[in-house]
A = this chain, B = another copy of it.
Amino acid sequence: MPKKIAVLAGDGIGPEIVAEAIKVLSFLNTDMNLGLVFENALIGGAAYDAFGTPLPQTTLNLCKNADAVLLGAVGGPKWEPLAHAIRPERGLLGIRSELNLFSNLRPAILYPQLVDASTLKPEVVMGLDIMIVRELTGGIYFGQPRGVHVAENGEKVGINTKIYSESEVRRIAHSAFKIAQKRHKKLCSVDKANVLEVTELWRNVMTEVGKDYLDVQLSHMYVDNAAMQLVRAPKQFDVIVTSNMFGDILSDIAAMLTGSIGMLPSASLDANAKGMYEPIHGSAPDIAGQGIANPLATILSVAMMLRYTFNQPEAAERIEHAVNTALDSKVRTADIYSEGMIKVSTSGMGDAVLNAL
């Protein structure tokens, strides 16, 4: 049975970087006889422009029937004036929610070849390898009630609701503990339990689930301290698990520590390892269409797809190894360029990976 991949290039640099990832994946598909088939669809601003909605039903159906989704990025200033419900971001949030992709894995790995690109001192980040597990279908991103209404005194009031049920916390806890078991067996759960009751529930459930994973050392940290510790001594972390909103913030900090936000992939998984794969970075509208974006995060997202959804660790490693080889050969896109390196375009970087496969 063919394995179906829905390809959603999206907006901004999305199409450029996805093209490179597909180039790499198609090669492996043939070379290793993986049996993958690709089908494209529109999402985000591109879908809005064509159909008036950021998540057309046909796109959603395609994703539901696929085994995995490869996403570029969505959004851009062009669509910022739109009402919330039809913004490009809603397309992304819609897929996460409709496909139940509650477990978002965001590795922050420092490539030793790029240590100079970090703004942190080398000794602070050298060897950095953190996995952030972000709850992706709950919390304040999806809680009701939400919206802006007019109060009795005539002024506008905006509301969003951060809400988690025990079962929502329990399933992300199990995901995170399982991942910690395969790594260095340290899990730090990040909350704001001293102020927010919802995160106190979060903390209690984490502690309870922890009893099933006695080989994993569980700790708890307040989100303000965690943000600070990521800057102070990031290597203290192995796996971090946190809510949707906190995970959004912390994963961007962690990514930036590595100096290579253009390099970092992500996986968003449901309970059966069906998943959506996308770079951590956004649609970078300012450089779209110039052929200078870094395709490595998307290429590495494909490696995560092969590992998590298609259970092809060997194919995943071939890609990761090829990325390393490309970096060793000193080719760099503009975002990770430093003196003495060879500057290449988006497709130049894709070719470098392809040649190293």
Contact = CB atoms under 8 A, between A and B. Distances in A.
B252 A224 contact: yes
A89 B197 CA distance: 13
- Contact residues on A (Cβ < 8 Å of other chain), bracket: 35 or more
A197 B160 CA distance: 7
A176 to B, nearest CB: 18
- Which DSSP category, helix, strand, loop or mixed, fits chain A's interface? helix
Interface stretch (A8-16, A162-170, A291-299, A342-350): A162-170
Contact of A197 (B80, B120, B159, B256): B159
A36 interface: no
Contacts of A148: 197-198, 200-201
A121 interface: yes
A111 B240 CA distance: 32
Interface of A: 75, 80, 84, 87, 89, 93, 119-121, 124, 140-141, 143, 146-148, 151, 155-167, 192, 194-202, 223-225, 227-228, 231-233, 245-246, 248-253, 255-257, 261, 282
9 contacts: A119-B231, A120-B120, A147-B197, A157-B163, A158-B198, A159-B197, A160-B196, A231-B256, A246-B249
